[in-house]
Amino acid sequence: MIDRNQIAAEQATFRSFANSYLRELDPGIPVFHRIGDRNCDCVELPLLSRGTVLRIEIKSRSLCGMHLFGRIWMRHEAGWREIEPLLAIHLMVLGARETVSPTHRQADVELLERILQSCQATKRYLDAAGDKTLPPAGFLAAEQSLYFGHPLHPTPKSLQGMTNWQQDVYAPELRGSFQLTWFAAADTLVRADSAGEPVSSIIDSLLGDDAGGLAIRDGEAVVPMHPLQAEALILEPSIRALLASGDLRRLGPAGPLFTATSSVRTVYSPDVPWMPKFSLPVHITNSKRVNRRHELEAGVAVARLFARAGIDGVDPRLGFLHDSAYVTIDLLGQAESGFEVIFRESPLGADDPVVTVSALTAEPLPGRRSMFESLIQRIASDHRLPLRQACRLWFARYLDCVLDPLVRLYDRFGVALEAHQQNSLLDLSHSGFPSRYLYRDSQGFYLSNSFRARWCDLVPELEQVRGLFFDDREIRERFAYYLVVNQIFSVVARAGHDGLASEAELLAMLRDRLNRLAAELSGAGGEFAKSLLDRPNITAKANLAIRLQDVDELAPGGTTIYTHFPNPLSRAGLFVAAETIHALAS
């Protein structure tokens, strides 16, 4: 009997890997593959070191996002033989090694392990979803619906270090729930700060009805911890020494039930106005997820800056879920103890129609429509509009509350955001149309060096927080990737794959909007908009290269690797796309 979910998981694993490969390493050669009386649109990848060629059917092409693939063939002596997706991935990993570094064989093993883990996790999540009717697209349901993960990442659902039985409780797709684990520590060890509500009050809200029930001694403060991180911490020699001395005590589970959001390590409870974000002893996609001290400080400092500079209320279409407080335990000689907790503002109810863009644009479950297609169909029906007109109208309003406010924010205040799909929430309460954009994550602020003196006068501690200020040239590159390539292009590609509107017409709408911003704005935002229209290539994060080099980009000294591909917003980029289509037609 054919296991539909196993096939879907393998296809999804190949889709994310192959799209990463085509974008970062080799765009391939466009060809046709003859089957019966028809030609299949394909791309051919010569794998010289393997002495073979792969031919991949492209069922739906994209100028700016992921392609959708069909069958895969490998050339051999007798012609072409159809092969399974996982075999094709193995061959491509070996072929990719020749383009990056021929000596890192251990990295190949590590990458293949994470690819298979990601595939197995995807299958497990699809099995759990089953054929049951999914809940409406509210905040929490959207957070827990990313069954396939990042569409341009070679290991999108890899959770290296989390067992299957732990995933039942802690993986967002499986919707488990758990209490936080609590520790009591000597006051002298605890460090905390907040841009607003006192940390003690935040702690009480996380404990709920249990706030007065913990056996706290004089001279102690309590610190919450994710249960997984708590188990890892008590195995550390320095923590064991604190436990033995009595300066640290493990109190156990307490408070209301929490559940994981899409990042896994930020957790949510509808009864609590804060979402705590923890370090975890797990490699999620690329990196082990650790809250660094400068990230704790950045969240508080930026929240103060936004309040004092009037940024929070600058545009009603723009809002922020600030990481405005933190608590941790200091250990002598260690930058981080592992107890670092970031507190994120959480004004959203579980069923509020505020959804992450990554869920909205995700590939649908087998036999289902994407969330985006369902939304546009509902709008078309409610407003008696053709699908194409409903999609164009939705996209225009999306640009109203995403592109315009964020570019104007950068122009006026020198603040750019790491506005990728997962950090980006859309308020769809106005009949399904976007009315407000909400941004989250203290790791993702880029402050222009040209504003440095002004902002440090307003918030002096900004000067001490590393990784906040950048030159505008670097900001333009990163902002282009996160806002445009990662987020806006995902919406364009989803609309194209779902047959709601052509990518070309949505890209034309985006170009028109950028032209208008470039003409209206005279500062860094105007320069950013102009650069997007002028450059022949556009920046993208090289997730496959990061994995091939086994880089933990979030570790101290780690670095993010970027690549470039033809910019579909520029004349030169469109020329490259047209050449590809012409080659196929020939």
Q: What is the pLDDT of residues 71-80, one digit of tens each?
A: 999 987 778 8
Residue 505, CA distances (Å) to 65, 509, 510, 512 in order: 15, 6, 9, 11
Residue 458, CA distances (Å) to 304, 308, 420, 468, 526 in order: 9, 7, 28, 15, 25
Measured in whole angstroms, how far is the alpha carbon of residue 264 from the centre of its chain?
Answer: 11
Four-CA torsion 417, 418, 422, 423, nearest 10 degrees: -30
In sequence order, what are the beta bridge partners of 73?
A: 55, 82
- Could you give the CA distance from residue 426 to residue 318 in angstroms, rounded to a whole number? 10
Q: Are 337 and 241 in contact (CB under 8 A)?
A: no
Four-CA torsion 517, 519, 525, 527, nearest 10 degrees: 130
H or E stretch at 399: helix 387-401
- Could you give the CA distance from residue 231 to residue 540 in angstroms, rounded to a whole number? 37
SS3 338: coil
Nearest to 437 by CA among 475, 484, 405, 481: 405
- Could you give the CA distance from residue 64 to residue 98 in angstroms, rounded to a whole number? 26
- Could you give the CA distance from residue 245 to residue 142 in angstroms, rounded to a whole number? 45
Q: In 400-536, at which residue ranges do the beta strands (DSSP E only) sit? A: 415-417, 424-427, 436-440, 445-448, 469-470
pLDDT of residue 550: 72
Q: Are 177 and 251 in contact (CB under 8 A)?
A: no
pLDDT of residue 431: 95
The answer, as to whether pTM is greater than 0.85, is yes
pLDDT of residue 580: 47
Which two structure tokens, joined as six digits, stand for 569?
């917003």
The ranges of the chain with pLDDT < 50 are 573, 576-586
- Could you give the CA distance from residue 327 to residue 307 in angstroms, rounded to a whole number? 21
Secondary structure letter of residue 488 according to DSSP: I
Strand duo 469-470 + 190-194: pairing: unpaired
pLDDT of residue 570: 87
pLDDT of residue 136: 61
pLDDT of residue 287: 79
Q: Are 398 and 426 in contact (CB under 8 A)?
A: yes
Q: Please name each of the domains of the chain with its CATH number.
A: 4-138 (3.30.310.280), 177-345 (no CATH), 354-585 (1.10.510.40)
Which two structure tokens, joined as six digits, stand for 172?
């967002």
Ramachandran category for residue 90: left, alpha or beta (phi over 0 → left; psi -120 to 50 → alpha): alpha
Q: Are 30 and 56 in contact (CB under 8 A)?
A: no
Secondary structure letter of residue 502 according to DSSP: -
pLDDT of residue 571: 67
Residue 50: is it exposed, middle or buried by C-beta count within 10 angstroms (0-12/13-18/19+)? Answer: middle
pLDDT of residue 552: 65
Q: What is the pLDDT of residues 428-485, one digit of tens each?
A: 999 999 999 999 998 889 999 999 999 999 999 999 998 999 999 999 999 999 999 9
Q: What is the pLDDT of residues 248-273, one digit of tens each?
A: 999 999 999 999 999 999 999 998 99
